[in-house]
Amino acid sequence: MLVVSAMAGEWPRELKAFHGSTPKMDGVIEEAEWKDATRFEGVEGWTPQFTPTTKPDDLSLTGWVKYDDTRLYFAFRVTDDVLYGIDTDRWLPEKNPKAHELTREGWPWFGDEMEILINASNTWKADENAAGNGSSWQMVCNLTKSRLGGVGKGGLLEGEPRADASAWATYQQWIESGAMEAVAKVLPEGKGYVIEWAIRFDPCLEVSPGRFFTPSRSEVKMGLNIAVGDLDEKEKGKGNFGNFHHEDWFAGEKNKRTNLKQWGTLRLMPLK
């Protein structure tokens, strides 16, 4: 079967990441440390999986992306008028009373959260999702629970495919070893939060078997998707899966946004 490698994803959306300084992963976005990053906005024009977002004070974000000699960095400042588990109780969905368990039965993305999905190998065969290894993956940063901090403290959680024991173990090893780091903090004024996220090239960006991204004089393209999930009061998500209010995606069609070929493109620009 044909393996596509001409583009990083079929969705006509892209971000350029340039080589820059190393930011501090502390959940505080300082202008000086992100001034050399590419800035982007959301969620207007993104793909809604559930109730469409119509007001920026309900859900919107500013993001930044860049890389240094060893890691890829994202930062997000999210505006969110109601923070789940902070402004609301930690209600559970009927579909999964174990949603907050930090096991493969839990839902890592249940809550206010962001997800990064990268297809570093820039290939796919059909309609498959992420493999759950360095070639392609989907990881979660939740505002109110994490692998390292437990329920109540935001940070990274193992993403999809969590049903795959190998992917689960790989993701957990990345988190526990520091190969991938993320800090999530509520904004001082409330009504939103900040996420800073660092992704080590080795082992997380495997461009071909055993070979990981290295900054060079050549541009490298990878598949990219980004999601922001917004859980408000339970009744606001009535009729949606898990009573989610909003879940907006950088690229892809509704119900297909996790397919590798539905992603946009991350362009890692050459060194100057």
Place of tokens 């892809």: 252
Phi, psi of 181 (to 5 degrees): -130, 145
- DSSP letter for 237, please: G
> What kind and span of H or E run contains 190?
none
One DSSP character per residue, 77-121 reads EEEESS-TTTTS-----TT-TTTTSSSTTS-TTSSSEEEEEEETT
The pLDDT of residue 272: 86
Domains of the chain: 14-51+70-253 (2.60.40.1190)
Closest CA to 63 of 50, 53, 74: 74
Q: Which residues contact 71 (CB under 8 A, 6 or more apart)?
A: 22, 198, 199, 200, 201
Alpha-carbon Rg for the chain in angstroms? 17
From first to last of its 272 residues, the chain has per-residue pLDDT tens of: 333 344 567 899 999 999 999 999 999 999 999 999 999 999 999 999 999 999 999 999 999 999 999 999 999 999 999 999 999 999 999 999 999 999 999 999 999 999 999 999 999 999 999 999 999 999 999 999 999 999 999 999 999 999 999 999 999 999 999 999 999 999 998 899 999 999 999 999 999 999 999 999 999 999 999 999 999 999 999 999 999 999 999 999 999 999 999 999 999 999 98
Q: Which residues contact 9 (CB under 8 A, 6 or more apart)?
A: 119, 223, 224, 225, 251, 260, 261, 262, 263, 264, 265
- Find out whether 225 and 250 touch, Cβ atoms under 8 Å: yes
Closest CA to 94 of 246, 230, 227, 240: 240
Q: What's the burial of 189, exposed, middle or buried (CB within 10 Å: 0-12/13-18/19+)?
A: exposed
State the pTM of this model: 0.96
Place of tokens 């859900």: 59
Q: What is the Cα–Cα distance from 8 to 131, expressed in whole angstroms?
A: 15
